[in-house]
Structure 1
Amino acid sequence: MPKDVCDEEKLRVMVSLRLTQAEHASLTALAHEHQTSQSQMLRRLIRTASGLPDVPDAQAIQTLKASGEELRRIGVNLNQAVRALHEGRAHFQKELSEGLLLVSRIVSGMQQTLKQSARLAQQSARQRLAREG
């Protein structure tokens, strides 16, 4: 099962609790649905209920890393284009201007998608918690 607690975040406090059979069945089902342990699921529910930011799972982290790498490559290319313009090695062209506008729209779209994904994940977790509560 993937570990979804950041390396910097140490788990130092142990809590013991008793559950009814129905509560345990719900916890087990939630953990299975999210492909995580019962402990991880409890931590997620606590973070959601208390307003703490959710710790992303392994797949979300991988997606964010890939998006970050793509944005880094775009930034490198933009930097090279601007440097060439400033050094006189390239001349301003309509195609370059259109390309920069397109890149700007793509980056803005990625930003909006990431924000929306985070909002939907938090909303889904809150709704699930309300149903289980």
Structure 2
Amino acid sequence: MDADAQNAAMKSASRRYGEVTHIRFSADELANLKAVAERDGVTVSEVVRRLVRAEAGHLPIASEALRPVIVDMTDQLRRVGVNFNQAVRAMNDGRVAYDEDLEQALIAVGDLVRQFRDELKTMTVGSRKAREARP
């Protein structure tokens, strides 16, 4: 990789992740991290990010086999969200009898749908190394 391409890749990673940290590992720990990275076809940094996400309670990054299913689920959730928005809009426009409790419930469910959809989308992003390897 030439210097310009390497600088562009670093700037892209900086925009995506923003922060850099330095961690010391024992030789065995680093060997284990590298083995996991090699097995999954990702960088050591991606392995560490995944471990942090898992510890923080976030959904994991999807495997290549699950990616199409999750992309389909994400699209279905988008459709559900659109339907919730239409229901709330119909109440706000007076086309449906207004019910404050129903409106709040629809808004809450819509928020949950968006949150879950965002989590699913995050699962399908994958690592830079995996994206570059795709045809």
Give TM class, smaller chain. Answer: 0.3 to 0.5
- Larger radius of gyration, structure 1 or 2? 1
TM-score (norm 1): 0.39
TM-score (norm 2): 0.38
